Chains A and B, each alone.
Chain A
Amino acid sequence: MENSKIEFEILRDILKISNSTLNLHERLNQVVEEIVEKMHVDACAIYLVKKGGETLSLKGAVGLNPEMINGISLKVGEGITGWVAAEKTPLAVLEIFKDPRMKNFPGSWEEKYRSMISAPILFLGKCLGVINAWTIEEKAFTTDDLHLLSSIADGMSGSIRNAQLYLDATKQYEELVSLYDISKMLNSTLELQELIGMVTRKSTEFIGASGCMLHILDVKDNLLKVKSMYGLYKSPEEISRTQLRLGEGVAGQVAIKAIPMMINNLPEESEHLLPMEKIFSSLLCIPMTVKDRVIGTLTLHDKKDASGLLVPFDKDDMNLLMALASQGALVLENAWNYERAERLFQENAQKANDFAILYEISNAMNTTMNLDQLLKIILKAVTFGGGLNFNRSILLLVNEKTNTLQGMLGVGPDSGEDAFRIWTEIGSKKMSFKEWIASVNASGQERTSRFDQLAKGIRVPIEYGKGVLALTVLEKKGFNIRNIQEDPRVNPDVLKKLEFESFATVPLISQDRVIGVIVVDNLYNKREITDKDLRRLELFASQAGLAIENAKVYSDLEKATRSIRELQDRLIQSEKMAALGEMAASIAHEIRNPLVSIGGFARRLDSKLDASNPEKRYSRIIVKEVGRLEKVLQEVLAFSRSAEPLFSECSVITLLEEALEVYEESFSECGIEVIRDFHEGVPNIHVDSNQIKQVFINLFSNAQHAMSKGGRLTVGCEYKAVEGEAMIYVSDTGGGISEDVITNIFNPFFTTKHTGTGLGLAISHRVVDMHGGDILVKNEPGVGVTFTISLPARQKRGGISEEMDLSAARTGVKGKEVHYRGQGDFLNGMGKGEGSESIP
Chain B
Amino acid sequence: MKTVLIVDDEENIRILYKEELADEGYNVILASNGYEALEVLSVQKPDAIILDIKMPGMDGVNLLKLIKERKEDDIPVIICSAYEEYKQDFSLWASEEYIVKSSDLTKMKGALKRILK
Q: Which residues of A are at the interface with B, using a C-beta cutoff of 8 A?
A: 589, 592-604, 623, 626-627, 630, 634, 637, 641, 646, 648, 689-690, 808-809, 812-815, 817-821, 823-827, 829-830, 834
B13 beta carbon closer than 8 Å to chain A:
yes
Of B25-33, B36-44, B89-97, the segment with at least 4 beta carbons within 8 Å of chain A is B89-97
Flag B41-81 by CB within 8 Å of A: 1 or 0 each: 00000000000011000010110010010000000000000
| A601→B61 CA distance, assembly (Å) | 27
| A133→B70 CA distance, assembly (Å) | 181
Which one of B68, B82, B87, B89 lies within 8 Å of A589 (CB-CB)? B82
Which one of B13, B62, B94 lies within 8 Å of A597 (CB-CB)? B13
| A589→B88 CA distance, assembly (Å) | 18
Chain B's closest residue to A811 (CB) is: B93
Flag B78-114 by CB within 8 Å of A: 1 or 0 each: 0000111111110011100000011111000000000
Among A826, A827, A834: residue with most chain B CB under 10 A = A826
Which one of A600, A630, A809 lies within 8 Å of B105 (CB-CB)? A600
| A814→B65 CA distance, assembly (Å) | 9
Chain B's closest residue to A595 (CB) is: B103
**A648 contacts B88, CB within 8 Å?**
yes
**A637 contacts B13, CB within 8 Å?**
no
| A630→B104 CA distance, assembly (Å) | 10
Complex interface: chain A residues within 8 A of B93 (CB): 808, 812-815, 817-818
From known contacts A597-B12, A597-B13, A808-B93, infer whether A603 and B103 are also in contact, taking CB-CB under 8 Å: yes
**B103 contacts A829, CB within 8 Å?**
no
Chain A's closest residue to B73 (CB) is: A813
Give the shortest distance, in Å, between B61 (CB) and chain A (any CB). Answer: 5
**A630 contacts B102, CB within 8 Å?**
yes
Complex interface: chain B residues within 8 A of A600 (CB): 13, 16, 20, 103, 105
Complex interface: chain A residues within 8 A of B105 (CB): 600, 603
**A690 contacts B13, CB within 8 Å?**
no
Chain B's closest residue to A690 (CB) is: B85
| A401→B109 CA distance, assembly (Å) | 70
**A818 contacts B103, CB within 8 Å?**
no
Give the shortest distance, in Å, between A819 (CB) and chain B (any CB). Answer: 8
Complex interface: chain B residues within 8 A of A689 (CB): 88
Q: Which residues of B are at the interface with A, using a C-beta cutoff of 8 A?
A: 10, 12-13, 16, 19-20, 53-54, 59, 61-62, 65, 68, 82-89, 92-94, 101-105
**A593 contacts B13, CB within 8 Å?**
yes
**A596 contacts B62, CB within 8 Å?**
no
25 A–B pairs (Cβ distance < 8 Å), ordered by A:
A592-B82, A593-B12, A593-B101, A596-B16, A597-B12, A597-B13, A599-B103, A600-B105, A602-B103, A603-B103, A604-B16, A623-B103, A627-B104, A630-B102, A630-B103, A690-B85, A809-B92, A812-B93, A813-B68, A813-B93, A813-B94, A817-B93, A825-B54, A829-B59, A830-B59
**B84 contacts A596, CB within 8 Å?**
no
| A652→B68 CA distance, assembly (Å) | 31
**A597 contacts B82, CB within 8 Å?**
no
Complex interface: chain B residues within 8 A of A830 (CB): 59, 61-62
Give the shortest distance, in Å, between A409 (CB) and chain B (any CB). Answer: 59
| A626→B19 CA distance, assembly (Å) | 20
**B10 contacts A646, CB within 8 Å?**
no
Which one of A589, A596, A815, A824 lies within 8 Å of B103 (CB-CB)? A596
| A825→B12 CA distance, assembly (Å) | 23
**B61 contacts A826, CB within 8 Å?**
yes
**A641 contacts B61, CB within 8 Å?**
no
From known contacts A596-B13, A597-B13, infer whether A690 and B87 are also in contact, taking CB-CB under 8 Å: yes
Give the shortest distance, in Å, between B25 (CB) and chain A (any CB). Answer: 15
**B103 contacts A593, CB within 8 Å?**
no
Complex interface: chain A residues within 8 A of B88 (CB): 646, 648, 689-690
Extra A-B contacts (12), CB below 8 Å, given A596-B102, A604-B20: A589-B82, A592-B82, A596-B101, A597-B10, A597-B103, A600-B16, A626-B103, A637-B84, A689-B88, A818-B93, A819-B89, A834-B65
**A641 contacts B62, CB within 8 Å?**
no
Complex interface: chain A residues within 8 A of B83 (CB): 589, 824
| A194→B63 CA distance, assembly (Å) | 121
**B85 contacts A641, CB within 8 Å?**
yes
| A594→B12 CA distance, assembly (Å) | 8
| A602→B20 CA distance, assembly (Å) | 12
Complex interface: chain B residues within 8 A of A826 (CB): 53-54, 59, 61
Chain B's closest residue to A830 (CB) is: B61
Which one of A603, A820, A829 lies within 8 Å of B86 (CB-CB)? A820
Chain A's closest residue to B93 (CB) is: A813
Which one of A589, A593, A808 lies within 8 Å of B92 (CB-CB)? A808
Give the shortest distance, in Å, between B83 (CB) and chain A (any CB). Answer: 6
| A814→B53 CA distance, assembly (Å) | 18
Give the shortest distance, in Å, between A584 (CB) and chain B (any CB). Answer: 13
| A29→B19 CA distance, assembly (Å) | 177
Give the shortest distance, in Å, between B7 (CB) and chain A (any CB). Answer: 14
Complex interface: chain B residues within 8 A of A815 (CB): 65, 68, 93
| A596→B105 CA distance, assembly (Å) | 9
Give the shortest distance, in Å, between B12 (CB) and chain A (any CB). Answer: 4
| A829→B104 CA distance, assembly (Å) | 30
Complex interface: chain B residues within 8 A of A634 (CB): 84
| A549→B93 CA distance, assembly (Å) | 63
Chain B's closest residue to A601 (CB) is: B16
| A623→B62 CA distance, assembly (Å) | 34
Chain B's closest residue to A809 (CB) is: B92
Shortest Cβ-Cβ A-B pairs, 9 listed: A599-B103, A597-B12, A592-B82, A600-B16, A813-B93, A589-B82, A830-B61, A820-B89, A600-B103
Give the shortest distance, in Å, between B81 (CB) and chain A (any CB). Answer: 9
| A813→B68 CA distance, assembly (Å) | 8
Give the shortest distance, in Å, between B80 (CB) and chain A (any CB). Answer: 9
| A544→B35 CA distance, assembly (Å) | 81
From known contacts A592-B82, A601-B16, A826-B61, infer whether A818 and B89 are also in contact, taking CB-CB under 8 Å: yes
Complex interface: chain B residues within 8 A of A597 (CB): 10, 12-13, 16, 103
| A634→B102 CA distance, assembly (Å) | 11
| A556→B59 CA distance, assembly (Å) | 56
Complex interface: chain B residues within 8 A of A829 (CB): 59
Complex interface: chain A residues within 8 A of B101 (CB): 592-593, 596
**B103 contacts A690, CB within 8 Å?**
no
Chain A's closest residue to B86 (CB) is: A820
| A825→B102 CA distance, assembly (Å) | 22
**A604 contacts B19, CB within 8 Å?**
yes
Give the shortest distance, in Å, between B33 (CB) and chain A (any CB). Answer: 12
Give the shortest distance, in Å, between B99 (CB) and chain A (any CB). Answer: 11
Chain A's closest residue to B8 (CB) is: A593
**A627 contacts B103, CB within 8 Å?**
yes
Complex interface: chain A residues within 8 A of B59 (CB): 826, 829-830
Give the shortest distance, in Å, between B40 (CB) and chain A (any CB). Answer: 21
Give the shortest distance, in Å, between A25 (CB) and chain B (any CB). Answer: 145
Chain A's closest residue to B23 (CB) is: A604
Complex interface: chain A residues within 8 A of B104 (CB): 599, 603, 627
Chain A's closest residue to B17 (CB) is: A600
Complex interface: chain B residues within 8 A of A823 (CB): 85
From known contacts A599-B102, A808-B92, infer whether A690 and B84 are also in contact, taking CB-CB under 8 Å: yes
| A459→B72 CA distance, assembly (Å) | 86
Complex interface: chain A residues within 8 A of B16 (CB): 596-597, 600-601, 604
Chain A's closest residue to B68 (CB) is: A813
Chain B's closest residue to A597 (CB) is: B12
Complex interface: chain B residues within 8 A of A637 (CB): 84-85
Complex interface: chain A residues within 8 A of B20 (CB): 600, 604
Chain A's closest residue to B14 (CB) is: A597
Complex interface: chain B residues within 8 A of A627 (CB): 103-104
| A677→B105 CA distance, assembly (Å) | 31
Chain A's closest residue to B10 (CB) is: A593
Complex interface: chain B residues within 8 A of A827 (CB): 61, 86
